[in-house]
Amino acid sequence: MAEEQLRLEIVTPDSTVLSEEVGYVGVPGAVGQFGVMKNHIPFLSALAIGSLYYRKDGKNEYVFLSGGFAEVSPHSVSILAESAERPEEIDVQRARQAKERAEERLRQQQEQVDTARAEAALKRAIQRITLGEQAGSSR
């Protein structure tokens, strides 16, 4: 039997990144990954830096999310993300440079370095590189 569909919307302060009918959705929640299918009970969750995936036409599709919130209802999942990119939109070279900058800051161990900020930048960069490289190798 075909999987029941629910609406997945991903918006950022800049744009609507995605608005589609999809099957299962895997979301990087702040306290761990969670899965959503149609008719899920309503709830809200903060998001971690990570990758969301959803099933569409029998394939898993991925979207990078850099934190934000998810609102789940029986018929939809709405993601309000600080930033969101499909794998093919990721500039891997830029992410590698961001990774180097973050690693350099963390190496410095100076008082003026905001460690939490540098660690978050490093996480974003590593996730983008992982997803962007997968897109590059499957093209």
- Interacting residue ranges for ligand ATP, rule: CB under 6 A: 14, 66, 83, 85, 89-91, 94-95, 98, 121, 124, 128
> In this structure, are residues 52 and 26 in contact, taking their beta carbons and an 8 Å threshold?
yes
Which residues, in sequence order, are bridge partners of residue 51? Answer: 64
Judged by CB, which is closer to ligand ATP: 105, or 128?
Answer: 128
User: Which two three-digit tokens encode residue 60?
Assistant: 């898993």
Judged by CB, which is closer to ligand ATP: 76, or 127?
Answer: 127
CB of 94 to ligand ATP, least distance (A): 4
Judged by CB, which is closer to ligand ATP: 36, or 90?
Answer: 90
CB of 96 to ligand ATP, least distance (A): 9
CB-based burial label for 66 (10 Å; 0-12, 13-18, 19+): buried
Running DSSP on this structure, what letter comes out for residue 14? S
CB of 104 to ligand ATP, least distance (A): 12
Cα dihedral sign, 70-68-93-107:
negative
Judged by CB, which is closer to ligand ATP: 72, or 95?
Answer: 95
CB of 83 to ligand ATP, least distance (A): 4
The residue to which tokens 């789940």 are assigned: 72
